[in-house]
Structures are given as structure tokens and as C-alpha cells.
Chains A and B, each alone.
Chain A
Amino acid sequence: MKEIIAGLIVVVAIIMVLIYNGLVTLRNNSKNAWAQIDVQLKRRVDLIPNLVESVKGYMKHERGTLEAVTNARAAIMSAKSPKEAAKADNMLAGALKSLFAVAENYPKLEASQNFMQLQEELSGTETKIAYARQLYNDVVLQYNNAIQTIPSNIMAALFGFKGIEFFKTESEAERQPVKVKF
């Protein structure tokens, strides 16, 4: 009889260790996924100076548009909280949109190799940011499921694993459908 109880205790202990390790892994995956988004965001910010340089020569009379882009980049680099960073991010997205819209009035610019490459780079980076956010949400979903379902929720409560928030779009403007007018 004693052996059976001892055996059961060992089995339960092993299960507890496995669950704990699983939770740690999922939580670290979530942290890693968040950091990966930052990698792409930084890439986008790093592309800006090149973009502004290559465009300045052609768009001599569009100082306002160019300044908006440069200011947005500065705002991102000096943001002190996630909320500030998100706001600055929106600023940059808006400023870039205006820049590319205005660039359509300058066919020579549009045709230049440099500009086209940068456009592709920026567009590629936007896609990567989106995928990085998607992965983050996928991974966070796995973690949140783990800490809420039985039996891992017991271990989670015992060791203080807390839920993580999904990435959501901040601005109401992004929730509106996009109108395309030619």
C-alpha cells in the first residue's frame, strides 16, 4: 500500500513539473514575440532617414509633408511609455501615407530606383509588423488558454502566472473601413 502511494506522489510531482515548465515556456514565447514586434518597428524607423533623403531632392516644395515624417520619427524615438509609443506610431503611419500620396505628383521620383526600393522595403516592413503582431496574438492565445484550462490553471494560480493582453489596435480610425478614391 505504501508503495502505491509513493508511486502516485512521484507521478503527480512529475506532472506538476511538466506543467510548470510548459507555462514558463509559453510565457517566454509571449515575451519573445513582443520583442520581435519591436525589431520590425525599429526597422521601419531606421528606414525613414534614407527615405527623406532620397525624396528631398525631388519634392522641394513639400517641406510640410517631409517635416511631419521626421517629427513622427523623433516622437517615436523619445516616447517614454507604451501609450506614447503607440501614439507616435500612429503619427508616423499617417505621415508616411501622406508622403506616398504626395509622391504621386512627382513621376520622376516615382520612377527612381532608389525610391521604388525604399517603397518596397517600407511596405515589406509593414507586412512584417503585421505578421509579428499576429504571431504575438497566436502565442499569447496559447499561454492564456494554458493558464485558464484545467489542470494547468492550478499550477498557474499557485505560481502566479498572470494573463497577458492581446495586441489591439489603439485608434478608432483604424477600425473604419478604408475608402479608396481615385
Chain B
Amino acid sequence: MTLYEEIGNNNRVTIVMFLLYALLYGAVVFSLLTVLGVSPSFPLFTVATLATLLLFYFIIFPNASQAILSMTGARELRKKDDPYLFNIVEALAIGAGIPMPRVYVIESDALNAFATGPDPQHSLVAITTGLRSKLNRLELEGVMAHEISHIKNYDIRSMLVAAMFALAIALIADIGIRSMFYRRRDERGGGSAIIMLLAVIGLVLAPIISALIRLAISRNREYAADASGAMLTRYPEGLANALAKIQKENEKSNSQINGVNDATRHLFIFDPAKKSLLGLFSTHPPIESRIERLRKM
């Protein structure tokens, strides 16, 4: 696919996935209602869920970057510390039309980089010392362009919305299942037994399906950032080569980065968690596919 087609395609896929998520949310709420019988406390429950989600979005999210920085032990880079890298990031930010993100460095032999921040005005990029030393200019540009694209496309915020959906779905499913056990005592209209069964299955499966959708969205945004980054540098080969180098190195060594857990995995350019089982459970698409798509642009 050409570069333009890649970007359009990725955005359409993201929209489809969020629609799926919304449908799943609706199905779970419906299942809950079925299991409870329409409970008078439902509006209260919805308000409570929405309130916690809004709290998360407006208060916790904007300050999350600081937490991630301390978890990984990153330190801020001044221009004089590394003018070469600084100039690369500044140039790419100019090309992307966003304010320049702050630049951080993580002491680690692992080859990785990430970007985070609630919006382009409050964002940052980080790179490990290992990656910084192994890449040449074109490859560094490719990696930084990928990160800056994440910022520009508001991917971090999209992933947060997906995580909030997941949380809400998990909460509702949990409540639904708990209330089921209480309902066995009183017989409340057993006519629609099949619907009841479907509702129960729905509640049990919902968290799993939700996780799968969220991971699919994450993989899709990775492809999108690859394509947008390539568009920015007009040189897909740079990132392709960088990814190839990262894959080779990380296969050999076992270097770790501090602060990597399920909440932060998706932010990195290369999945830092070694234990990815099936393709469905990884936050990033397989490296070979990413390199292949880049080289076909």
C-alpha cells in the first residue's frame, strides 16, 4: 500500500474498533440489566461510573507522565547534553506542526523508546542510551518520527479512552456476575431463560473480549504511527532499518528497562515484555510485518 493509503486505512480501522468497543459496552450494560431486572439504582450506577472515568481523564491522566518518568528512571535532556538528538527531535516537531516535546534519556542497554503525554502541548519522548548509541541519523529520525506521530495523532489519549472503556466494562461485568448469585434466592420471572444465559455468558466473556479489542487498537495505532512517521521523514527505510536492528539486538540480549508493566507496555516502540504468548495478546504487531509494510511504501 502507498503511504497515503496506509494512513487512511489505519484511521478507518481505529474507528471500526472503537465502534466495536461501544457495542460491547452496550451489550454488557444490556446483560447487566437483564440479570438484575431493571434496577432502580441503574442511573446512579451509570453516574458513578462516568464520574470515576471523568476523574481519571481530567485529573489523573494529565499527570501520568510524571509517574511514568519516575518508574523508568528517565532524566531530562538539555540541548547542550546532546545537541544532535535535540536537533533531530526539534526538526521533526517542526515538520509535524506540533510544539517540540521534552526529551528524556533512560539509562539502559535495552534498545527502546517511548512517547507519552495527554496532548501535543504537554508531551515528551524518551530513548534508552542503548538505542541512542546504536542508531545512525536516518534510523534515529525514523524512530523519533514514529514517536512524534504518536503524539500528533493523540494515540496516547486514544489508548486511555480504550483503557477507560475496558475498566467500565470490567466493573459492570463484575457487578453483573455478583448480583447473579444473590438473585438465585428469589424467583424473578424465569420466562427468558435463554436471554438470561446469553447475558451471563456475555458478562463472563466481556472482559476478555474487551482486552482483545484494546490490544487490537494498540496494534493498529502502532502501524498508524509507523506510516505517519514515514510520511513525516519521507523515508520509510530509516524506521525499517531501526526496527530490524532493535529486533536483532533484543533477541540476543536480555536487558531490561525499569517500570515496564501492563499499563506502560503499549507506549514503547518495541514490546518490552518478553512473555508475549499468542499474537492476540501483544500490544505491538510483529516486527516482521511492520518492516514489511514500511518497505512496501
Interface positions of A (Cβ within 8 A of B) = 29, 33, 36, 40, 117, 120-121, 123-124, 127-128, 130-132, 134-135, 138-139
Contacts and interface: CB of A to CB of B under 8 A. Distances in A.
B96 A135 contact: yes
Contacts of A40: 94
A120 B94 contact: no
A135 B91 contact: no
A117 B88 CA distance: 15
A135 B96 CA distance: 7
Nearest to A128: B91
Nearest to B92: A131
User: Interface residues of B toward A: which range?
Assistant: 10 to 19
B191 interface: no
Given A128-B94, A131-B91, A134-B95, 18 more contacts: A33-B97, A120-B83, A121-B83, A121-B87, A124-B83, A124-B87, A124-B90, A127-B87, A127-B88, A127-B91, A128-B87, A130-B91, A131-B92, A132-B94, A135-B94, A135-B95, A138-B97, A139-B97
B181 interface: no
B27 to A, nearest CB: 33
27 contacts: A29-B97, A33-B97, A40-B94, A120-B83, A121-B83, A121-B87, A124-B83, A124-B84, A124-B87, A124-B90, A124-B91, A127-B88, A127-B91, A128-B87, A128-B90, A128-B91, A128-B94, A131-B91, A131-B92, A131-B94, A131-B95, A132-B95, A134-B95, A135-B94, A135-B96, A135-B97, A138-B97
Contacts of A123: 87
Contacts of B83: 117, 120-121, 124
Nearest to A124: B87
A49 B247 CA distance: 45
A81 B102 CA distance: 37
Interface of B: 83-84, 87-88, 90-92, 94-97, 234
Contacts of B92: 131
Contacts of B95: 131-132, 134-135
A120 B84 contact: yes
A118 to B, nearest CB: 11
B87 A120 contact: yes
A123 B95 CA distance: 16
A131 B145 CA distance: 12
B44 to A, nearest CB: 36
Contacts of A124: 83-84, 87, 90-91
A36 B94 contact: yes
Q: In this complex, which of B88, B91, B92, B234 has the most chain A Cβ atoms within 10 angstroms of its Cβ?
A: B91
A121 B180 CA distance: 67
Closest 3 A/B residue pairs (Cβ): A124-B87, A131-B95, A127-B91
Nearest to A131: B95
A112 to B, nearest CB: 16
Contacts of B88: 127
A135 B93 CA distance: 10
Nearest to A32: B97
B18 to A, nearest CB: 23
Contacts of A139: 97
A139 B87 CA distance: 22
Contacts of B91: 124, 127-128, 130-131
Contacts of B94: 36, 40, 128, 131-132, 135
Most buried by B among A36, A120, A127, A130: A127
B290 to A, nearest CB: 24
A139 B40 CA distance: 53
Contacts of A36: 94
